[in-house]
C-alpha cells in the first residue's frame, strides 16, 4: 500500500504518522561548539581543554589550570586587532573608556579583561564582535563530560592533534597513488568514530579565535571568494566524474594553497572564519571523494580534519554536514550502531537548528537510513517524514551553502529508496528510485544517477523482473562512461552474478549487459 502526495512523492505504508511529542531527547554532548561563544552559559571557570605544544590535551585538575592562558589569548587578539587598525594603546584607551595602563596589562596577559572592555574594544576596532565572543568563551566553566579515574576528561586520540598539523599530515598519506593503495587496505577504524565531548568543541572555537599572523600574505575577501569558487568547481567535478577523478588535485590544493591561506594574516575575523569553513568544505570534499572511491581510511582522516576546521570556524551546520557524511560511510561499511550515533550527532542542537531546511532534510534522511540499518524501523519511518517536510519547506529564496547544490527531490528520493529497501518495502523503494531517476539532472549528477540505476536494477531483479532489470542496468552502464567511482564499479560487480543467473534462464538481454559490465570493470581497473 502506498500513499501519493499531491506533489507526486510516494510515502510507503511503512512510514507511520508521527506521534505527538515524538522528538527524541538530545544526546549528552549536543551543545554546540558555538554555544559558549554566542551565549556564554557557564561563567567563572576556564575552558576544560588546553593547548600545549600544538595539541589539545585533557583538562587538568582545577588548581593546576593556568588562568593566565585565557588572558594571554585575549591579550594577543586585542593587540592584533589594535595593530591591524594602526592604533597605539594611548589612542585606543579613550575609545574604550579604559585607561592606558589597564589596556597595556590586558595585552600582556597580566590583567583579566571585563566584558565591558571587550564590548568597547569591539566597537572601537570594528571586529564584528570577535573580542566579546572570545571573552565569553574564555570565561566559561567546565561542562560535564566523560572522565578518567584521575578526573581528567577523555578525548578520543584522533581528535587531539592540532588542526593545521593534521591538515599538513594529509599530504603525506594521500597524494601519491601507491600510498593510497596501502591506506585502502590498512583498515577502517571503528574506534575513531567516537566523538569528543563539549570541552573539545569549546577549545576548538577558542583556538580558532586565537589564531593570528602578523606577517606574510594578507587574505582579503577577494582571496576567500577565489578559494570558494575553486571548491565549487571541484565539487561539480566530483558530482559528474566521481571521487576517483582529480582527487589528488583536490588534496594538493587543500594542503598547499588553502593550508597556506589558513596561516596567513586575515583581513577580519569574519574572513578567518569564512576561510576555515571553506577549508572544512574542501577537506570534507576530499574525504567524500576518497569514500566514493573506496579509500576508506583516507576518507576517515579527511572527515576528521574537516570537522576540526568547521569547529575552529564556529560553523555548526558544516560540522553537522560532515558528521552526516561520516554516518553515511559507516552505514555502507556495516557499522550500523555507530552510524546511527553519528547521524544523531549531526542533528544535535545548532548543527540542525542553524542549518537551512534543505540541509536539515539531508541530515534527516541519512539519519533515517542509519536507523533502518540499525533495526529501528519506526524511528526510521518518522525520520523520513521529517526529511520530506524539511525539503518541502525549502524555498527558492533560501540562502543555501554551496555544498548543498546537489541535494533536491532526486537526492531525497534516492536516499528514501535506500531506506525503504533496507526496511524491506521493495515496492515503495522501487517507486522512489524511479522518482529519483525521473527528477535528476543526469548530465550534472552523473555518478549518483548511475548508482541509482544500479540499485533500481537490483530491486527489479529481486522482484523477478529480469527484462526490466537488464534494461535498467544497460542505462546505468551508459551513465558510467567517464565516471571513476568505486560505487559505480560495485554496482557493476553486483549485477554480474544476477546476470549470470538470467543467462542460464535464457534471458537474451542478459548476455549483452553482462559483457558490457565486464568491459567496464576491466577498463576501470587499468
* Mean pLDDT value across residues 449-463: 97
Interatomic CA distance for residues 363 and 383, integer angstroms: 9
* Mean pLDDT value across residues 426-455: 96
For the CA atoms of 455, 457, 462, 463, the dihedral, rounded to the nearest 10 degrees, stands at: 120
Q: Which pLDDT value is given to residue 109?
A: 83
Exposed, middle or buried, 424 (CB in 10 Å: 0-12/13-18/19+)? Answer: exposed
Task: Point out the least confidently predicted range of 195-209, 342-356, 369-383, 398-412.
Answer: 195-209
Buried b (16+ CB within 10 A) or exposed e, 371-406: bbbbebbebbbbbbbbbbebbeebeeeeebbebbeb
Which of 502, 498, 454, 461 is closest to 475 using CA atoms? Answer: 454
Yes or no: say if 52 and 65 are a contact pair by the CB < 8 Å rule: no
Model confidence at 110, pLDDT cuts 50, 70, 90, reads confident
Q: Which pLDDT value is given to residue 4?
A: 39
Yes or no: say if 11 and 388 are a contact pair by the CB < 8 Å rule: yes
Yes or no: say if 81 and 130 are a contact pair by the CB < 8 Å rule: yes
Average pLDDT over all residues of the chain: 81
Could you read off the pLDDT of 180-195 as tens digits, one per residue?
444 443 456 777 777 8
For the CA atoms of 172, 175, 177, 182, the dihedral, rounded to the nearest 10 degrees, stands at: 30
Could you read off the pLDDT of 20-66 as tens digits, one per residue?
333 333 332 233 333 333 333 333 333 333 333 333 333 333 322 34
Task: Point out the least confidently predicted range of 79-93, 326-340, 421-435.
Answer: 79-93
Interatomic CA distance for residues 433 and 414, integer angstroms: 6
Interatomic CA distance for residues 317 and 242, integer angstroms: 25
CA angle 372, 373, 377 (to 5 degrees): 25
Q: Which pLDDT value is given to residue 59?
A: 35
Residues 6 or more apart whose CB falls under 8 angstroms from that of 277 comprise 309, 310, 313, 315, 318
Model confidence at 212, pLDDT cuts 50, 70, 90, reads low
* Mean pLDDT value across residues 290-316: 94
Residues 6 or more apart whose CB falls under 8 angstroms from that of 178 comprise none
Q: Which pLDDT value is given to residue 35?
A: 35
Yes or no: say if 140 and 33 are a contact pair by the CB < 8 Å rule: no
Distances (CA, A) of 1 to 13, 156, 425, 426, 427: 6, 46, 10, 11, 9
Q: Over 90: is that where the pLDDT of 492 sits?
A: yes
Could you read off the pLDDT of 307-326 as tens digits, one per residue?
999 999 999 999 999 999 99
Question: How far, rounded to the nearest angstrom, does the alpha carbon of residue 365 sit from its chain's CA centroid?
Answer: 15
Question: What is the pTM assigned to this prediction?
Answer: 0.72
Yes or no: say if 208 and 451 are a contact pair by the CB < 8 Å rule: no
Amino acid at each position: 500500500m502506498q500513499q501519493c502526495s499531491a506533489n507526486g512523492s510516494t510515502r510507503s505504508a511503512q512510514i507511520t504518522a508521527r506521534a505527538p511529542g515524538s522528538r527524541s531527547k538530545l544526546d549528552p554532548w549536543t551543545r554546540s561548539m558555538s554555544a559558549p561563544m554566542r551565549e556564554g552559559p557557564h561563567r567563572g571557570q576556564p575552558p576544560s581543554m588546553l593547548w600545549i605544544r600544538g595539541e589539545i590535551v585533557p583538562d587538568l585538575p582545577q588548581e593546576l589550570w593556568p588562568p593566565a592562558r585565557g588572558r594571554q589569548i585575549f591579550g594577543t587578539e586585542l593587540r592584533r586587532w589594535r595593530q591591524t587598525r594602526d592604533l597605539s594603546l594611548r589612542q585606543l584607551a579613550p575609545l574604550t573608556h579604559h585607561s592606558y595602563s589597564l589596556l597595556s596589562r590586558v595585552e600582556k596577559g597580566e590583567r583579566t579583561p571585563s566584558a565591558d572592555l571587550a564590548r568597547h574594544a569591539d566597537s572601537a576596532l570594528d571586529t564584528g564582535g570577535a573580542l566579546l565572543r572570545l571573552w565569553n568563551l574564555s570565561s566559561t566553566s567546565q561542562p560535564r563530560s566523560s572522565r578518567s579515574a584521575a578526573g581528567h576528561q577523555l578525548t578520543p586520540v584522533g581528535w587531539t592533534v592540532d588542526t593545521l598539523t593534521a591538515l599538513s599530515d594529509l599530504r603525506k598519506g594521500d597524494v601519491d597513488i601507491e600510498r593510497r593503495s596501502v591506506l585502502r587496505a590498512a583498515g577502517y577504524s571503528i574506534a575513531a568514530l567516537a566523538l569528543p565531548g563539549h570541552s573539545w568543541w569549546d577549545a576548538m572555537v577558542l583556538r580558532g579565535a586565537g589564531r593570528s599572523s602578523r606577517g606574510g600574505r594578507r587574505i582579503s575577501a577577494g582571496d576567500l571568494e577565489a578559494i570558494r569558487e575553486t571548491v565549487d568547481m571541484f565539487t561539480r567535478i566530483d558530482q559528474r566524474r566521481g571521487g576517483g577523478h582529480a582527487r589528488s588535485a583536490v588534496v594538493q590544493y587543500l594542503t598547499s594553497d588553502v593550508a597556506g591561506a589558513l596561516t596567513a594574516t586575515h583581513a577580519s575575523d569574519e574572513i578567518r572564519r569564512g576561510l576555515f569553513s571553506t577549508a572544512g568544505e574542501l577537506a570534507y570534499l576530499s574525504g567524500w571523494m576518497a569514500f566514493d572511491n573506496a579509500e576508506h581510511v583516507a576518507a576517515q582522516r579527511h572527515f576528521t580534519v574537516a570537522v576540526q576546521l568547521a569547529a575552529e570556524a564556529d560553523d555548526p551546520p558544516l560540522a553537522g554536514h560532515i558528521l552526516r557524511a561520516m554516518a553515511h560511510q559507516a552505514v555502507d561499511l556495516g557499522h550500523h550502531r555507530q552510524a546511527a550515533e553519528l547521524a544523531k550527532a549531526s542533528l544535535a542542537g545548532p548543527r540542525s537548528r542553524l542549518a537551512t531546511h534543505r540541509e536539515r532534510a539531508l541530515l534527516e534522511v541519512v539519519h533515517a537510513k542509519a536507523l533502518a540499518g540499525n533495526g529501528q524501523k519506526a524511528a526510521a519511518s518518522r525520520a523520513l517524514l521529517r526529511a520530506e517536510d524539511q525539503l518541502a519547506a525549502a524555498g527558492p529564496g533560501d540562502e543555501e551553502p554551496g555544498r548543498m547544490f546537489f541535494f533536491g527531490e532526486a537526492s531525497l528520493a534516492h536516499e528514501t529508496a535506500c531506506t525503504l529497501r533496507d526496511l524491506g518495502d521493495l515496492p515503495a523503494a522501487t517507486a522512489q528510485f524511479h522518482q529519483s531517476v525521473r527528477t535528476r539532472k543526469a548530465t550534472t549528477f552523473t555518478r549518483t544517477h548511475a548508482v541509482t540505476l544500479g540499485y533500481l536494477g537490483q530491486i527489479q531483479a529481486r522482484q523477478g523482473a529480469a527484462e526490466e532489470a537488464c534494461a535498467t542496468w544497460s542505462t546505468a552502464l551508459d551513465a558510467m562512461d567517464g565516471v571513476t567511482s568505486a560505487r559505480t564499479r560495485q554496482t557493476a560487480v553486483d549485477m554480474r552474478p544476477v546476470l549470470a543467473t538470467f543467462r542460464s534462464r535464457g534471458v537474451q538481454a542478459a548476455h549483452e549487459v553482462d559483457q558490457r559490465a565486464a568491459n567496464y570493470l576491466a577498463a576501470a581497473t587499468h
